[in-house]
């Protein structure tokens, strides 16, 4: 009779001990894959379920979890760079969006919710947390956004834009003339698809 009463108590106590031990390894603001936590516990699935239930971790996608920092306004979402890096298990990616073209001043004004992720490992649309990411596998992409790359990328993605394409291309001709022709040509050769090369090449001196 005593064994039946005390057994759940000891199981619960052991679980709490394992949870406290696992939390020692977690850092607020970080994003973790399930596999990252296996090195610290042999009961990863049971403890992950408990941490999500108590609100310590947030499940962002299958096997991806966030330990959020908190502010006076509530829990702070995961940083996009950290989220994508953990999801891919790779630092080699470029995070951007169709909204980036608005900085070029060529008539694009729409706002898009989806982020683009150029990378070497994954392809397809994935929801991570509350955000949609369009992962596109590319052999070549820069380490950071430049004006030259944005011009090339805009033409690469013309079919995804909501604006009048002919009007955008007309304004793009004026933009191209104001840019460093050598840098733009180099970017076009490195990152442009067939359509981009066909449309942009005649604009470059």
Q: Lowest mean pLDDT: which of 5-9, 53-57, 159-163, 168-172?
A: 5-9
Q: Tell me the average pLDDT of the chain.
A: 90
φ/ψ region of 132 (left if φ > 0, alpha if ψ in -120 to 50, else beta) reads beta
Residue spans of the domains in the chain: they are 2-75, 80-203
Residue 164 reports pLDDT greater than 50? yes
Residue with tokens 């990863």: 44
Cβ 96 vs Cβ 153: under 8 Å: yes
In this prediction the pTM is 0.83
pLDDT-above-70 percentage for the chain? 93
For the domain covering 2-75, report its CATH number. Answer: 1.10.10
Structure tokens that stand for 82 in this block = 């950290």
**pLDDT computed for residue 4 by the predictor:** 46
- CA dihedral 71→74→78→79, nearest 10 degrees, is -50
Reported as a single tens digit per residue, the pLDDT across 73-106 is 888 999 999 999 999 999 999 999 999 999 999 9
Q: How far apart are CA 179 and CA 19, in angstroms?
A: 57
The yes-or-no verdict on residue 108 having pLDDT over 80 is: yes
């Amino acid at each position: 009779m005593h064994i039946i009463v005390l057994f759940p108590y000891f199981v619960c106590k052991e679980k709490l001990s394992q949870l406290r031990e696992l939390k020692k390894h977690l850092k607020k603001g970080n994003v973790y894959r399930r596999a990252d936590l296996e090195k610290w516990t042999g009961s990863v699935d049971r403890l992950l379920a408990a941490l999500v239930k108590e609100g310590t971790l947030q499940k962002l996608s299958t096997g991806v979890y966030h330990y959020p920092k908190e502010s006076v306004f509530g829990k702070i979402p995961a940083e996009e760079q950290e989220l994508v890096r953990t999801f891919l298990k790779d630092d080699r990616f470029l995070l951007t969006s169709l909204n980036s073209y608005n900085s070029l001043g060529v008539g694009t004004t729409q706002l898009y919710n989806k982020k683009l992720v150029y990378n070497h490992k994954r392809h397809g649309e994935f929801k991570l947390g509350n955000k949609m990411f369009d992962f596109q596998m590319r052999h070549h992409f820069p380490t950071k956004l430049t004006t030259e790359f944005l011009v090339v990328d805009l033409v690469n993605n013309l079919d995804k834009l909501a604006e009048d394409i002919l009007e955008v291309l007309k304004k793009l001709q004026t933009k191209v003339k104001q840019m460093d022709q050598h840098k733009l040509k180099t970017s076009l050769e490195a990152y442009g698809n067939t359509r981009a090369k066909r449309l942009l090449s005649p604009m470059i001196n």
